[in-house]
Amino acid sequence: MKRILIISPYFPPSNAADMQRIRMSLPYFKQNGWQADVVVVDEQYSEMVKDDLLLLSIPADVTIYKVNALSKKITAKVGLGSLALRSMWSYLKTVNKLLKEKKYDLIYFSTTQFPITILGPYWKTKFNIPYVIDMQDPWHSDYYKSKPKSEQPAKYWFSYRLNKYMEPIALKKVDGLISVSESYIDDLKERYPVIKNIPSATIPFGAFDIDLKIASDNISGFVSILQPGFKNIVYVGRGGADMHQALNITFTALKKCIDTNQGASKKIRLYFIGTSYAPAGYGKQTIAPLARHYGLENHVVEYTDRISYYHTLNVLQHADALFIPGSDDPAYTASKIYPYILTGKPLLALFHINSPALEVLKEYEAPFAYAYNSDNEVLENICTFFSAIADGDLLQTTYNPTAIKKYSAENMALRQCKLFNSVITQ
């Protein structure tokens, strides 16, 4: 049995998107020949929403090591809030000790807390252990450089320069790459020719059906969000100006549907839940103002506060239909596709024409997945979707079972393990 040491600063019970790959893969690593240990940051140092139910999906035979981090109350005074930077020293000490005491075949960074990956070259040199990085998002990117300041992330000037400096430290010596988007890998190999021939794989997040059962079994613990008596269409996830192109088309179609369909006018409610990463009560709405522009304030509801993972699944299970708006970034692919599909609910999805998400949805045979544009056919199709929901004509959707199996968490874990095997045998 080969041994892998996984670096994932966020981990259950912290409800962070970037730990989901590891959480959903851990039950399947061992059957593919890899025994995993995970080094995480103690959840007391995370400001993420906590969801203790996430712990129910972690196999009992996986050893979890917790490291400390500097208090954000202290580091925020000098502008440093990153969990990776706050935990760097503790990671260095803890993992050094582990690598001296145990034999590992591979180190696997799976996180969007990318600064922590600069420890990979150090451990590779000191302990002769290869490492793999999971690029769930771009690290150093020019995407926001031309955007107005109002659309740039907080402290963008500092983070842009820090990322530009740190990324080559970690990437130039990496032994393998995994990413949710092929374009992320292509960009990195073009930027750093020295890694052109290392093993790499484009592996999306998987569909983890165990989660739906956990959500169903714990339904009594969730507060109801959706309004009874309406046809509730739900999106749970971040908002942002980069989604406005998709939303402009959606709201244009919804407005047309409401103006021409009395049933839709009275019944349709479109929910956007958890749209901000800010602490509860401090989030800035990015969807509701656009909805008001279209005169849809009585039909579009935005809650900026994030909810727990299983509360999210519970809301999806009780919705009449689901919605995913894509980013204007062509490389963007939404990992939430997979749990949405598992609910069997009708799904409306709009993505950039070059987004890999569209190809995935095509494999699922999702009938209401479109590249967003303003031509009449797409508008009519979206309007038809809303009318069908309002009239009760769309209740369940049957998705392609071959795609469901292909994109299962179990199969995604198998593909990761194949990449691991390639790295240690090259």
pLDDT tens-digit map of 127-186: 999 999 999 987 866 555 556 666 656 665 456 567 677 899 999 999 999 998 898 999
Cα–Cα dist 352/171, whole Å: 28
CA-closest candidate to residue 424, choices 97, 120, 3, 114: 3
Helix axes 83-101, 119-127, angle to 10 degrees: 10
Min mean pLDDT across 75-84, 166-175, 343-352 is at: 75-84
pLDDT at 91 over 80: yes
User: Mean pLDDT score of the chain, rounded to an integer?
Assistant: 90
In single-letter form, the type of residue at position 326 comes to G
User: CB-side exposure of 18: number of CA atoms within 13 Å?
Assistant: 21
Largest Cα–Cα distance in the chain?
70
Burial status of residue 406 (CB atoms within 10 A of its CB: 0-12, 13-18, 19 or more): middle
Cα–Cα dist 131/106, whole Å: 6
Which pLDDT value is given to residue 375? 66
Is the CB of residue 91 less than 8 Å from the CB of residue 7? yes
Phi, psi of 35 (to 5 degrees): -90, 125
Average pLDDT of span 99-108: 97
**How many other CB atoms are found less than 10 A from the CB of residue 400?**
14
Cα–Cα dist 239/272, whole Å: 8
pLDDT at 410 over 70: yes
Average pLDDT of span 71-85: 70
Phi, psi of 219 (to 5 degrees): -60, -30
Q: Where are the beta strands (DSSP E) in 243-386?
A: 268-273, 300-303, 321-325, 347-351, 369-371
Cα–Cα dist 413/422, whole Å: 14
pLDDT at 55 over 50: yes
Alpha helices in 268-408 (DSSP H): 288-293, 309-318, 337-342, 356-364, 376-390, 401-406
Which pLDDT value is given to residue 71? 82
Which pLDDT value is given to residue 398? 87
Which pLDDT value is given to residue 196? 95
User: Each residue of 229-282: pLDDT tens digit?
Assistant: 999 999 999 999 999 999 999 999 999 989 987 777 789 999 999 999 888 888
Average pLDDT of span 32-38: 98
Is the CB of residue 32 less than 8 Å from the CB of residue 2? no
Q: Measured between alpha carbons, how far is residue 382 from residues 238, 347, 416 in Å? A: 22, 11, 36
Any residues with CB less than 8 A from the CB of 200 and at least 6 apart, and which? 176, 177, 178, 179, 185, 189, 419
Cα–Cα dist 390/395, whole Å: 11
User: Each residue of 180-210: pLDDT tens digit?
Assistant: 889 899 999 999 999 999 999 999 999 999 9
CA-closest candidate to residue 176, choices 161, 160, 190, 188: 188
pLDDT at 334 over 80: no
**How many other CB atoms are found less than 10 A from the CB of residue 196?**
10
Is the CB of residue 195 less than 8 Å from the CB of residue 170? no
Which pLDDT value is given to residue 75? 60
Is the CB of residue 16 less than 8 Å from the CB of residue 274? no
Average pLDDT of span 316-345: 89
Which pLDDT value is given to residue 145? 54
Average pLDDT of span 98-122: 97
Highest mean pLDDT among 164-168, 326-330, 339-343: 339-343
Which pLDDT value is given to residue 391? 87
**146 conformational bin, left if phi > 0, alpha if psi -120 to 50, beta if neither:** alpha
